[in-house]
Structure formats: structure tokens, C-alpha cells
């Protein structure tokens, strides 16, 4: 009897921990709850280890990720897989066997808040294998440096160095890639790097080869407004909570974590901040950039006065290499045609929607692929054990767009 009672108590406690009220309409809510419970457990354990001085919270999380997810480079009959370097940056290369030559080429940057993950993770390995096989394309998945050891602009410089090497005649010839059919892509923080690289290289007139397309998967593109409608609507929706995104930004920009409350209150972007021009503010003014159905009943949070000098202490907040949404229209207009995936239940939804609108306004052809039942990170959950329906759909639609546009 006591064992049954103890079991019932433990089961109830587990159910209480796992259960999380989710918005109606999110895809397969119980799978998302289980995934969130797993992530929360790791996050809380890493916070405890950090507080006790055992190790940095990011180091523990990456050790867990490496133990669970990182796999060796294994070739198959369809795709040859090998670990190499690209512009001095570790890269996993996926080459389809047979097929026609020259082949299409895709360089991919993984997500993880510029601090977590690897292109050698099982989820990204499976994604890139499928891309290589379905597209008959050479896919290069880049392992850029990570925070806290590396901070902005280190990750950006790695992405840029790898991309320049990817576009070089030497690499294109070595792998038999068509210089007219190249794409830069990435998800979340990787989407940020892909957008920044596309801007920089599209404006470089010394390059003979440039990208034909950019494919951005729920990208993070700005850190001045943590009260966009999607940040307000989805601030407590897994797997990316609003405070977690603010923490990732501060780690990436090499800033003190004590600034997190200021970012969450939009104190860092108050009107009395001299480092933020009116022109810069207009580039992320969601009241004009978002359609009415996305703005809903939400109101902007713009403070007259805030915390003086934050932008001066953290200049990356307004650096377009870190925040591509702030780029000038002329720069955006030179970038290649774009695919931008967004998810309704994602704090970063409006970053992607605003960027797509600004690209269109600058004359760039844009395909906006929005998932009403999607959540942040869903595309990499297209396979077991956490396979989600929206993950499978989004992955296939993303690859289909590449097939039709590359």
C-alpha cells in the first residue's frame, strides 16, 4: 500500500512538472511539454552547477548535448560524410554519391544561441544528409566557435571565413559545385549568421562568386525590442522563453548577465539612448512592418528614459553584423532571394516577419513560410525520438523550396 501511495505521489509530481499550459493550436502539445521538461531539467541543473562554481552553465549543457546528440561522421551508400575544415573552421561535409555534376551547394549554420550545439549533432546530421540526398547538393555544416569562450564578432567572423572559402574557386572545383547555384542557410542563431553573411558578401564587389539564395529558419535578428507582439505573446512558450533569449544575447555580445532585466524591460532601447538613431528605430518598428493579424491587441513598449549608456557599453546591440534587421535598405537590396520560415508560437516570429517585409520593400524576392502550429526549433525535431508533425512538414517544405529555387 505504501509503495502504491509513493508511486502515485511520484507520478503526480512528474505530471505536475511536465504539464505546462500551452496555447491552443500548437502542434502536438504533449510532445512539446515532454521536450520542454527535459530542457528545463538540463537548464536548472546547469544553473545550479554555475551557482556552485562547478562549471559555466553553458559548458554543462554542451556536455549533455555532446553526450546525447553528437555522432561520428558516417557515410552511407547515398551520401559521403566527412569532417573537414572550411576557411579554418571545423565543418562536416555531406557529398551525395553519383548524380549529376556540377552540383548545387549549401552552407549551413546550426542554431543554439551562439553558445550551444554543433553541426555534428544527430538532428543536424540527419537534416544535412537529407538535404544532400534530396537536392543532389554538397552541404557543408559549419561548427563556428561558441560562447562563453567566443563572443561577438568571433562567431560572425567564423561564419564569414567559412562562407568566403565556400565561394572560392578552389573549394567549388574540389567538390564539383556549380558557382551559380549556391545558398547560405541556418536556423535561429545560425539564421542570424546566415543573414549577416549574406549582407556582407552581397555587398563585396571583389567577389566573383556570390550566393544565389539565402534560407533563414526562424532567425534571431535584433536585440533592441523584447516586446514585439511575438515576444509578448510567446514569452512563456517553450522551448525558447523570452528571458532565455535575452541571456543568449548577452552571452553572445560579451555583456554582463546583470543587464538581463534591463533588456527585458526595454530600458536599453529607451528614447534617451543617444546610440540609437531614429532611422535605426524605424527599421524594427513593428507597428508598420507587421500585418494587423500579427500585431493583434499588443502595444509597443517604448520608454522615454531608461538605463543610460547601455548601448555604449554593449555596442553590439546596434551592430548590423549582430543584428541584421538594422541594415540599411541599400544593403538589403543587394542580398539574394530569400526564404524566411517563421512559427506562430515563437518569440522570434516577428524578427523573421519584419526582415521578410524589409527585404521585400528593398526589392528582394521573398518566400515567407509561416507555420500556425509551429514552435521555435521545430524543424530539427523531424526525426525520432522527438519527431513532430510540424517538424517533418517544415523540413520538407524548406528542402522543396531549395529544390525549386537553387
Q: Which residue, 149, 164, 152, is CA-closest to 89? A: 164
| DSSP, residue by residue, 177-236 | EEEEEEEEEEETHHHHHHHHHHHHHHT-TT-S---SEEEEES----SS-S-SHHHHHTTT
Q: How far apart are the first and last CA of the chain?
A: 65
Please name which of 90, 251, 253, 249 lies closest in space to residue 161, comparing C-alpha atoms.
90
**CATH H-level, domain 26-406: superfamily:** Alpha/Beta hydrolase fold, catalytic domain (3.40.50.1820)
Strands 366-375 and 337-345: parallel
Q: How far apart are CA 302 and CA 305, in angstroms?
A: 9
Sign for the pseudo-dihedral over CA of 346, 351, 353, 359: negative
**Could you read off the pLDDT of 236-291 as tens digits, one per residue?**
999 999 999 999 999 999 999 999 999 999 999 999 999 999 999 999 999 999 99
Tell me 26's DSSP state: -
Residue 249's alpha-carbon distances to 148, 161, 242, 256, 320, in angstroms, are 11, 22, 11, 10, 14
In this structure, are strands 89-96 and 366-375 parallel, antiparallel, or unpaired?
unpaired
Per-residue pLDDT of 162-209, as tens digits, reads 999 999 999 999 999 999 999 999 999 999 999 999 999 999 999 999
Sequence-ordered strand ranges (E) for 262-332: none
User: What are the boundaries of each domain within the chain?
Assistant: 26-406
% residues pLDDT > 90 (the chain): 80
Helix (H/G/I), strand (E/B), else coil: 401: helix
Confidence category of residue 28, pLDDT binned at 50, 70, 90: very high
With residues binned 3-state (H G I as helix, E B as strand, rest as coil), the percentages for the chain, rounded to 5, are: 45, 15, 35
Structural element, H or E, at residue 122 = helix 122-135
Which pLDDT value is given to residue 1?
A: 52
**What is the pTM for the complete model shown?**
0.95
pLDDT, average across residues 377-381: 93
For residue range 60-117, list pLDDT tens digits in order: 888 888 888 999 999 999 999 999 999 999 999 999 998 888 999 999 999 999 999 9
Confidence of residue 4 (pLDDT cuts 50, 70, 90): low
Q: What's the confidence (pLDDT) of residue 184?
A: 98
Quote the percentage of the chain above a pLDDT of 70: 96
In this structure, of 27-31, 120-124, 348-352, the range with the lowest mean pLDDT score is: 27-31
Residue numbers annotated as active site: 188, 346, 376
Amino acid at each position: 500500500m505504501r509503495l502504491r501511495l509513493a508511486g502515485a505521489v511520484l507520478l503526480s509530481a512528474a505530471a505536475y512538472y511536465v504539464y505546462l499550459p500551452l496555447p491552443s493550436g500548437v502542434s502536438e502539445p504533449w510532445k512539446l511539454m515532454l521536450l520542454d521538461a527535459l530542457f528545463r531539467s538540463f537548464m536548472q541543473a546547469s544553473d545550479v552547477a554555475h551557482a556552485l562554481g562547478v562549471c559555466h552553465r553553458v559548458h554543462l549543457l554542451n556536455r549533455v548535448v555532446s553526450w546525447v546528440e553528437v555522432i561520428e561522421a558516417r557515410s552511407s551508400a547515398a551520401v559521403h560524410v566527412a569532417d573537414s575544415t572550411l576557411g579554418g573552421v571545423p565543418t562536416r561535409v555531406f557529398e551525395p554519391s553519383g548524380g549529376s555534376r556540377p552540383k548545387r551547394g549549401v552552407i549551413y549554420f546550426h542554431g543554439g544561441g551562439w553558445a550551444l550545439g554543433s553541426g555534428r549533432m544527430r538532428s543536424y546530421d540527419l537534416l544535412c544528409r537529407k538535404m544532400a540526398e534530396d537536392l543532389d547538393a554538397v552541404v557543408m555544416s559549419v561548427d563556428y566557435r561558441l560562447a562563453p569562450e567566443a563572443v561577438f564578432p568571433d562567431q560572425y567572423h567564423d561564419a564569414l571565413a567559412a562562407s568566403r572559402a565556400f565561394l572560392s574557386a578552389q573549394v567549388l572545383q574540389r567538390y564539383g559545385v556549380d558557382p551559380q547555384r549556391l545558398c547560405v542557410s541556418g536556423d535561429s542563431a545560425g539564421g542570424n549568421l546566415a543573414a549577416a553573411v549574406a549582407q556582407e558578401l552581397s555587398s563585396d564587389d571583389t567577389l566573383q562568386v556570390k550566393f544565389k539564395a539565402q534560407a533563414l529558419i526562424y532567425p534571431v535578428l535584433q536585440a533592441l525590442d523584447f516586446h514585439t507582439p511575438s515576444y509578448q505573446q510567446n514569452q512563456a512558450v517553450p522551448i525558447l522563453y523570452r528571458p532565455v533569449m535575452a541571456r543568449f544575447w548577452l552571452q553572445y555580445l560579451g555583456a554582463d548577465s546583470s543587464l538581463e532585466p534591463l533588456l527585458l524591460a526595454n530600458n536599453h532601447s529607451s528614447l534617451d539612448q543617444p546610440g540609437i538613431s531614429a532611422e535605426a528605430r524605424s527599421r524594427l518598428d513593428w507597428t508598420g512592418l507587421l500585418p494587423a493579424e500579427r500585431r493583434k491587441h499588443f502595444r509597443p513598449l517604448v520608454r522615454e528614459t531608461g538605463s543610460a549608456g547601455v548601448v555604449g557599453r554593449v555596442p553590439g546591440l546596434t551592430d548590423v553584423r549582430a543584428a541584421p534587421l538594422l541594415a540599411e535598405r541599400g544593403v538589403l537590396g543587394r542580398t539574394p532571394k530569400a526564404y524566411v520560415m517563421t512559427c506562430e508560437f515563437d518569440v522570434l516570429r516577428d524578427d523573421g516577419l519584419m526582415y521578410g517585409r524589409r527585404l521585400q520593400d528593398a526589392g528582394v524576392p521573398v518566400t515567407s513560410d509561416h507555420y500556425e502550429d509551429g514552435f521555435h526549433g521545430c524543424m530539427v525535431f523531424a526525426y525520432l525520438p522527438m519527431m513532430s508533425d510540424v517538424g517533418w512538414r517544415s523540413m520538407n517544405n524548406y528542402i522543396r523550396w531549395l529544390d525549386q529555387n537553387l
